[in-house]
Amino acid sequence: MVAADTRRFAVHASESASRAVVRIEHLSRVYRQDSLAVRALDDIDLEIDEGDFAVLVGPSGSGKTTLLNMIGGLDSPTEGRIWLAGTEIGGMGKGELSALRLRHIGFVFQEFNLIPVLSALENVEFVMLLQGVPTADRRDRSLALMKELGLEGLEHRRPAELSGGQQQRVAVARAIAAQPSIVLLDEPTANLDSKAGAALMDLMRRLNQQRGTTFIFSTHDPMVVERARRVIRLRDGRIEADERRT
């Protein structure tokens, strides 16, 4: 309790000098189903700094997906405030929020969400297409990234013609290619074997170190937790611990 209050004070005190990509204050999310109310997030205070490589851990139902959705602007708070790259997203119009999300957020969902009628390469290019990146640039960046992710030779396959692990890497390539400020991944290794999972983590860590891209991922996987630089533990919608590793 004392530690949380101290941190909250520190957040305000350093406001102008803050390098936070994401800032969250008193965030709660209550889901109502029939007469039942579930407090999925309960008074969360959190800052994600530029260059963080952070993992959200906690039992199933502890609020990991809800928190990622909030940070990604896909769901809105019942109470509290969220800033993304210095801009408060509460009260933003739909169009304004999509534009902000397009520029700053890369999202890798648990179920990949690839577009089935597009090839792997076209899927990777898709976010850049929306961003208005010129065709040649788009193609070069996508091909290079796919190669780096071990997807060379699979560029023209449709998602249905790829394994789960390959689809996952296409989704990661799509999220990263657009060079967002922050990449959010919900259980990124859940559908990968341990070798592919480790390779994915190593690639993300390389991007984190070389480009300074900020990553937040949720997981149950000890291998992922081991590789994180910051471990945020959730329980019943609250932050139970927040530990940085040097």
Contacts to ligand ADP from residues 31-90, by CB under 6 A = 31, 33, 38, 40, 58, 60-66
Strand positions, DSSP E, the chain: 20-33, 36-49, 53-57, 79-84, 87-88, 105-108, 182-186, 214-218, 230-235, 238-244
Cα–Cα distance measured from residue 28 to residue 160, given in angstroms and rounded to the nearest whole number: 38
Comparison of 65 and 213: residue with beta carbon closer to Mg ion: 65
Distances (CA, A) of 142 to 63, 167, 175: 33, 15, 11
User: CB 82 → ligand ADP: shortest distance, Å?
Assistant: 16
Least distance in angstroms from the C-beta of 54 to ligand ADP: 15
What is residue 1's DSSP assignment?
Answer: -
Q: Does 213 bind ligand ADP (CB under 6 A)?
A: no
Binds 197, which of Mg ion, ligand ADP, none (CB < 5 to 8 A, cut-off by type)? none
Of 107 and 126, the one with the shorter C-beta distance to Mg ion is 107
User: Contact 66/29 with Cβ under 8 angstroms?
Assistant: yes
Least spacing, CB of residue 202 vs Mg ion, in Å: 23
Radius of gyration of the chain (CA): 18
- Interface residues with Mg ion (CB under 5 A) are 64-65
Interaction of residue 210 with ligand ADP, rule CB under 6 A: no
| Shortest distance, position 65 Cβ to Mg ion, whole Å | 3
Give the interface with ligand ADP as residue ranges (CB under 6 A).
31, 33, 38, 40, 58, 60-66
